[in-house]
Structure 1
Amino acid sequence: MKTYSAKASEIQKKWFIVDAEGKTLGRLATQIAYVLRGKHKPTFTPHMDMGDNVIVINAEKVVLSSNKELTKLYHRHTGFFGGLKTQTAAEIRASQPERLLELAVKGMLPHNRLGNECYRHLKVYAGAEHPHTAQNPEALPERTLKN
């Protein structure tokens, strides 16, 4: 039996759309990362960008379980001494609602060049409108989205 390794010319990319309204943040992020990475395809090759493009709408209506809205902290550093900035999930949702989902998905992708390339295929929008209608996105199949 031979191991199959996909070539760049054989990769077929599709566009999927996901409505985040009422979905739990972490569970939705894992499913999106799974599709961005390409693990849902039978021809998955670990060292290639096999994943599809994912559009997420209604990101502002994603749900955080329990009281994580007030207790979950996000840290970033400015690069200067004493430059650690901390925000709660509620503060991030108020200023940039799509950022919560972007950070969750980015943390679930590989932390290397391949992960950065996969992350570029994620498009997140706070509202219901998106500018990607020309790509004819399909709804992500329910077998991939388990809730």
Structure 2
Amino acid sequence: MDTLSYKTLSATSETIVKNWVVIDATDQVLGRLCSVVAKILRGKNKPSYTPNLDCGDNVIIINADKIVLNGDKMTKREYLRYTGYPGGQRSFTPADLMEKSKKASVKAGKHPLFIKVVKGMLPKTKLGAAQLNNLYVYNGSEHPFADVNATVIDINKMK
């Protein structure tokens, strides 16, 4: 058997095909939904996955305001951040981030709770930051990407 004929084919920037995916977040658990979204953003659901390239799809999440957290995590869980100054530790809950997402000062498509959760599931590199830019989250069922011919995925049927 000729072992030199077996070659591993890696994706290149010319061969990568980026699709658009729409996911409905109605009555979905936040962490379970975001883990599937992180897998799609990285491209791990494709056979042509290459770890050092952005080969994932663009993801649009709709109905983000209808997300569910188990137990009383919506009010009891705390996220921390630090400003860099003495006494600058700030804490906030998922309920705070949900309220912040409804303000006009937040950029459209950038839901703070989903960004926080998905960012923790992506690599902490420039590649992870680039993949996070492919995520768009909207509180309602309307989104401005109606003309991109996006595929609707039911994550309950995904592995």
Output the TM-score relative to the length of structure 2. 0.86
Aligned position for 2:78: 73
Amino acid at match of 2:49: F
Q: Are 1:108 and 2:113 counterparts?
A: no
Contact 2:64 2:138 in 1 (8 A): yes
Amino acid at match of 2:113: L
Question: Which is worse superposed, 84-93 or 115-124?
Answer: 84-93
Aligned position for 2:108: none
Aligned position for 2:131: 118
Contact 1:23 1:63 in 2 (8 A): yes
Aligned position for 1:136: 149
Secondary structure (helix, strand or coil) at the match of 1:44 reads: coil
Greater RCO, CA 8 A, separation 6+: 1
Q: What is the aligned counterpart of 1:48 among 47, 53, 56?
A: 53
CA drift of 1:143 comes to 7.2
Identity within the alignment, %: 42
Measured against aligned partners, the alpha-carbon deviations of 1:79-123 in whole angstroms (never above 9, x if no partner) come to 222111101112221222632122111110000011011101000
Question: Which is worse superposed, 18-27 or 75-84?
Answer: 75-84
The runs of 5 or more residues in structure 1 that have no matched partner are none
Secondary structure (helix, strand or coil) at the match of 2:61 reads: strand
Contact 1:20 1:59 in 2 (8 A): yes
Amino acid at match of 2:45: H
CA drift of 1:141 comes to 5.2
Runs (4 or more) in structure 1 with deviation over 6 Å come to: none
Q: How many corresponding residue pairs?
A: 146
Contact 2:54 2:127 in 1 (8 A): yes
Secondary structure (helix, strand or coil) at the match of 1:108 reads: coil
The runs of 5 or more residues in structure 2 that have no matched partner are 1-5, 103-110
2-structure distance, mates of 1:144, 1:77: 39
Output the TM-score relative to the length of structure 1. 0.92
CA drift of 1:145 comes to 3.6
2-structure distance, mates of 1:26, 1:108: 10
Amino acid at match of 2:10: S
2-structure distance, mates of 1:83, 1:134: 44
Larger Cα Rg: Structure 1 or Structure 2? 2
